[in-house]
Structure 1
């Protein structure tokens, strides 16, 4: 029998054990972040580079929750104001937008009101550059409508709207997006042109930069999140597919962008926003998987070929080590792609329906209530989830993996009545293939692979070195064959069970190629959350009618709902109706057509049901 101390230590190990991309890129991300700080410290110039510096440090903070990153973020924020004349207001609208985006995200992650104040101060000034449906590039060029000043403005306006609920902020976002789509986006391919000068009527279609492509993707995605209009999501996917199909050379995005300086930042910005789209639950799984694999390939190429091993500095060409010095912008770009790759196989959990509201990514591991809280997830606050292929999650009603449980995989825009806001602990497992460890007893560097055939080149692309596997975990329903030579030749070891140390098979550090096949014996996880029978914490037999609803929606239940608190959410997770019931019905005449969720709470009982208007 384990002592309480042993149990606590075991839980701690579970909480911080990870597999897959985080394990592959976590060390590299930390090394690049450390090198960036040691080399550049808190810069005293280049406003827009430093704005992205705040964003990159925030990537490190969300990955580690380390106070070190919070301290560095705040120092950089204050440093920007100091070298900018003791103000955050700038001549260039795009520069202010970058900092506004980073500051608002920092406020969301840390709760520090200083960041929110910076974001709103900047947004109020940025709106002064709005004319003819779009934002000017700077305060000295009226009519210069550059993509770099408008797609970020949409991102910032849409995110500000989530906090202010001010219709004017959303109107700015939709107007600017419409201007861009009409004037700066190729209607056939989805490519994003650099600028249009309204004074001359000339559109610069020759310059198609990665960061403009990335921010337009994000602009469409953000508007979809706040409006529920799928056309915005389709626009984002169209532009992302342009990059996937037309701007990759030997797998590398925008391989022609190899300069430093301002251009050194471009690809990192693109990757940041493509990675956000890659976790959107409402696009096809195959599309998401394609985006993730492309990002992983670029990150792995940089990790393998593009980092100076003695300095951990990167070059503008991610396929080769820098030959000379590296500037801050170029290092930031490298940090961004590695940080993005570290999140690719995380399972995401959402506060609101339809993947709305706050969201949090978790790697494989076990998380009790304290561990979830440390990651920013409050107790009983999960409403939707998006779990990548090859993973499954076990949800628990109570802390420390106790109480009712439910195994889920795939995506669910709503977790279901019985589980909505009812998760207190959970376990994320990799289930679709095998996990390979550098050292015996499942320790050291770790990489998870789905079913497939892997030559040495393919293993190295995934982060597994030649002759460097010492232990293996095999998911239920899979078989692994380890080969001593490349291309599936030489001596083999075949297993359907875990092997804690390949010394026992005289095969330690001998793996050069691998085959992983499904045997068909694995139990299937549920692809969506299921509704459990009603109990003492929910309402017996409550239903809504008519559904679709007219002007009045009726609640049918044996319970007396008078005095119950009722909230109606739209598809974005925004509360549209809030109040108390005076009878078992509610007026929905003011709602536009759409899909809605209603939450009813009374006397400790709670239920959420969906309806169509």
Structure 2
């Protein structure tokens, strides 16, 4: 089975198992957080950013099928509508990264078909909040939440990418330069999690390294596209290969919950690098290998039947005993689906 067919089966499986109307309302659609689950579970614990990545995965499927007005694009628009309904008729919330991820997904959805109605209200609301979150305290960067006590990579990187893709190059560049200067570990070449700002004015660096934090930084480098940014993009790809992959070339994964999404996000941006002809063949080939090996691991670890596959949480089968139960989280299924979609976009000549 080729990469296109595998991605198609992943899309069908995740949508069938997790896709549901919001409270049964016509014209709505959200990803059920756990499946199987009781009726109206979409009204339970809210995972805004999981839904944003559900939109992104649906856009991937629409691009793969070359159907900008097809079923996947229609579902993506329904998810955006349903996020607003579930979120008390607002696009904004207390978390900067949530809004940035939805903004990025909306940008990609709009690019599918310029004739389709634009999402201007969404962008106006989100852009204003992202600007307010990006301040000069600590030298720049974006606050993670309305508490304004943590500036981090999870917020600053997708905010930078959102501005870069929206044409605000100056703001986007300033944010990614802040990450370069404050949160890039010079030894590993990877980005640390963030900087906590305490009430007494002191700061503490959160030194955790997560796979997904590297992804939108890589995307921002590619979107900005200066010689310096492309050099940094190549270095980041090589650092990911050196420190965030298994011996078989697949990307390392994280735990349940939010962690179940992390590596799928990185795979999306590595696939962008693999397709970018401005990068060296070595960087592109390395990025392609990381994505393809990860897709192979998720595919080989699946269980169930065609159209109903359940994908593993981890690329390392030895780590995946926790995914053997009856209840499956949306995050891990999106991760596998995103990675399989990313693999379906890889150029044949560097595979």
**TM-score tier after normalising by the smaller chain length:** 0.7 to 0.9
Equivalent-residue separation in structure 1 for 2:135 and 2:104 (angstroms): 21
Equivalent-residue separation in structure 2 for 1:130 and 1:109 (angstroms): 29
Q: 1:100 aligns with which of 91, 99, 103?
A: 103
Q: 2:155 aligns with which of 149, 156, 160?
A: 149
Residues 328-360 of structure 1 deviation map (CA, whole Å, 9 limit, x = unaligned): 1111100011001111126xxxxxxxxxxxxxx
Greater per-residue strand proportion? 1
Structure with the larger RCO, 1 or 2 (CA within 8 Å, 6+ apart) = 2
Question: Displacement of 1:236 after TM fit?
Answer: 1.5
Residues 1:267 and 1:283: Cα distance change in structure 2 (over 3 Å): same
Equivalent-residue separation in structure 1 for 2:303 and 2:123 (angstroms): 34
Residues 1:234 and 1:120: Cα distance change in structure 2 (over 3 Å): farther
Residue aligning to 1:230: 227
Residue aligning to 1:333: 335
Equivalent residues in 2 for 1:259-408, closer than 5 Å = 259-309=255-305, 311-320=308-317, 322-324=323-325, 325-345=327-347, 388=349
Residue aligning to 1:541: none
CA contact (8 A) 1:315 1:326 kept: no
Residue aligning to 1:33: 11
Q: Name the SS of the counterpart of 1:330 in structure 2.
A: helix
Residues 1:82 and 1:340: Cα distance change in structure 2 (over 3 Å): same
Residues 1:319 and 1:188: Cα distance change in structure 2 (over 3 Å): closer
Residues 428-477 of structure 1 deviation map (CA, whole Å, 9 limit, x = unaligned): xxxxxxxxxxxxxxxxxxxxxx9xxxxxxxxxxxxxxxxxxxxxxxxxxx
Residues 1:157 and 1:279: Cα distance change in structure 2 (over 3 Å): same
Q: Name the SS of the counterpart of 1:212 in structure 2.
A: helix
**Which stretch shows the higher mean deviation, 96-105 or 28-37?**
28-37
Question: Displacement of 1:253 after TM fit?
Answer: 4.2
RMSD, aligned α-carbons: 1.8
Q: Name the SS of the counterpart of 1:145 in structure 2.
A: strand
* Gap runs ≥5 in structure 1: 1-22, 162-168, 347-387, 390-449, 451-613
Q: 1:246 aligns with which of 243, 247, 252?
A: 243
Count of residue pairs the alignment pairs up: 313
Question: Displacement of 1:319 after TM fit?
Answer: 3.9
Equivalent residues in 2 for 1:176-215, closer than 5 Å = 176-199=175-198, 200-205=202-207, 207-215=208-216
CA contact (8 A) 1:99 1:119 kept: no
Equivalent-residue separation in structure 1 for 2:232 and 2:154 (angstroms): 17
Residues 1:91 and 1:152: Cα distance change in structure 2 (over 3 Å): same
TM-score (normalizing by structure 2): 0.84
CA contact (8 A) 1:100 1:120 kept: no
Residues 1:335 and 1:116: Cα distance change in structure 2 (over 3 Å): farther
CA contact (8 A) 1:213 1:239 kept: yes
CA contact (8 A) 2:250 2:315 kept: no
Question: Displacement of 1:115 after TM fit?
Answer: 3.0
CA contact (8 A) 2:254 2:262 kept: no
**Which stretch shows the higher mean deviation, 78-87 or 112-121?**
112-121
Residue aligning to 1:172: 171
Residues 13-42 of structure 1 deviation map (CA, whole Å, 9 limit, x = unaligned): xxxxxxxxxx61222211211111111112
CA contact (8 A) 1:220 1:233 kept: yes
Equivalent-residue separation in structure 1 for 2:110 and 2:87 (angstroms): 21
CA contact (8 A) 2:245 2:290 kept: no
Equivalent residues in 2 for 1:11-90, closer than 5 Å = 24-41=2-19, 42-43=30-31, 44=42, 45-66=46-67, 67-90=70-93
Equivalent-residue separation in structure 1 for 2:314 and 2:160 (angstroms): 30
Question: Displacement of 1:290 after TM fit?
Answer: 2.4
Question: Displacement of 1:239 after TM fit?
Answer: 1.4
Residues 279-301 of structure 1 deviation map (CA, whole Å, 9 limit, x = unaligned): 11112223312221221111112
Residues 35-58 of structure 1 deviation map (CA, whole Å, 9 limit, x = unaligned): 111111123331100000000000
Residues 1:236 and 1:120: Cα distance change in structure 2 (over 3 Å): farther
Q: 1:138 aligns with which of 140, 145, 159?
A: 145
TM-score (normalizing by structure 1): 0.49
Residues 397-453 of structure 1 deviation map (CA, whole Å, 9 limit, x = unaligned): xxxxxxxxxxxxxxxxxxxxxxxxxxxxxxxxxxxxxxxxxxxxxxxxxxxxx9xxx
| Pair member with larger Rg | 1
Greater per-residue helix proportion? 2
CA contact (8 A) 2:133 2:143 kept: yes
Equivalent-residue separation in structure 2 for 1:195 and 1:115 (angstroms): 31
Equivalent-residue separation in structure 1 for 2:121 and 2:186 (angstroms): 38
Question: Displacement of 1:202 after TM fit?
Answer: 0.9
Equivalent-residue separation in structure 2 for 1:97 and 1:31 (angstroms): 28
Equivalent-residue separation in structure 1 for 2:57 and 2:142 (angstroms): 25
Question: Displacement of 1:91 after TM fit?
Answer: 0.7
Equivalent-residue separation in structure 1 for 2:120 and 2:238 (angstroms): 34
Equivalent-residue separation in structure 2 for 1:299 and 1:254 (angstroms): 9
Q: Name the SS of the counterpart of 1:248 in structure 2.
A: coil
CA contact (8 A) 2:254 2:263 kept: no
